[in-house]
Amino acid sequence: MLALFVAFSLSEIHVAVSKTGDEDQLKSLVDSFAIAIVKKDKAWIASNLSETCKMYEPSGNTLDRAGIVYTFTEGIYDISRSAALNKAFKVDGAVAGGSADFDVEGVGNINGNRVDIAGSYRFNLKFSKVDTSWKIVEIIIDQR
């Protein structure tokens, strides 16, 4: 009976440690995304979005992976500063959900007009674990 209790306790510890490790990876992924959109890092963005990633903008537009890369790297959104704050995640095996407040400074080309887009935005995110790393599979952006 004691052996069973010890085995169960160790498995619970392993689950807690792996969830903490996953949450750390997700925090790092979101922080890196905030940096990549300022640097217009096309390679980083493309490699960290799943093939089927979708982004839902506050304007109602829905973008696929190629559209997301284009939007953040080709001047639709010209972000000069971005910081991900108040990050929270819930990991469930190889899938996870989370959110972060992105404080940004920059301009956007909206309906042919250059518009100041500085402000705070809530990013609700979904992730999928592929092998040992996480990919972003969905981004829903709400203006705060």
Partners of 109 in beta bridges: 114
> What is the span of the domain harbouring residue 26?
2-143
Q: Quote the CA–CA distance of 69 and 142 in Å, as a whole number.
A: 19
- What is the tens place of the pLDDT at every residue in 12-64? 444 444 556 999 999 999 999 999 999 999 999 999 999 999 999 988 999 99
Label each residue of the chain as H, E or C.
CHHHHHHHHHHHHHHHHHHHHHHHHHHHHHHHHHHHHHHCCHHHHHHHEEEEEEEECCCCCEEEHHHHHHHHHCCCEEEEEEEEEEEEEEEECCEEEEEEEEEEEEEEEECCEEEECCEEEEEEEEEEEECCEEEEEEEEEEEC
- What is the tens place of the pLDDT at every residue in 32-43? 999 999 999 999
In total, how many domains does the chain have?
Answer: 1
- Local confidence band at 86 (pLDDT 50, 70, 90 cut-offs): very high
CATH of the domain at 107: 3.10.450.50
- In this prediction the pTM is 0.84
